[in-house]
Amino acid sequence: MTEPVIFDRQPAVLDLEPGTYFWCSCGQSENQPFCDGQHKGTGLAPVKFVVEAAKKAALCNCKYSKNQPFCDGSHSSLA
């Protein structure tokens, strides 16, 4: 399996409106933290998630969270 590229070692803290989102899991999108289709050929795929009510969320930017698409602090233990 292809390993994701680390985009950043801190989460993207965003105010999300209700809707459907596609979080970039490969780290190569130019529209972080969301998918822009650049994962093609990597074997990785975006993670779809739905926001029911407006909220602030910390989305994973290192791509190694165990709670994708949300930050779980994994960025602090990456080599």
Per CB under 6 A, residues contacting ligand FES are 24-26, 28-29, 35-39, 44, 46
For ligand FES, the closer CB: 41 or 77: 41
Which residues does 79 contact at the CB level (< 8 Å), separation at least 6?
Answer: none
CA–CA gap between residue 4 and residue 69 (Å, rounded): 13
Smallest distance from the beta carbon of 53 to ligand FES, in angstroms?
Answer: 25
CB atoms within 10 A of CB 4: 18
In whole angstroms, the minimum distance from the beta carbon of 54 to ligand FES comes to 24
CA dist 14 and 57 (Å) reads 5
CB of 1 or CB of 53, closer to ligand FES: 1
Please, what is the minimum distance in Å from the beta carbon of residue 59 to ligand FES?
12
- Collapsed DSSP state (helix, strand, coil) of residue 77: helix
Comparison of 35 and 59: residue with beta carbon closer to ligand FES: 35
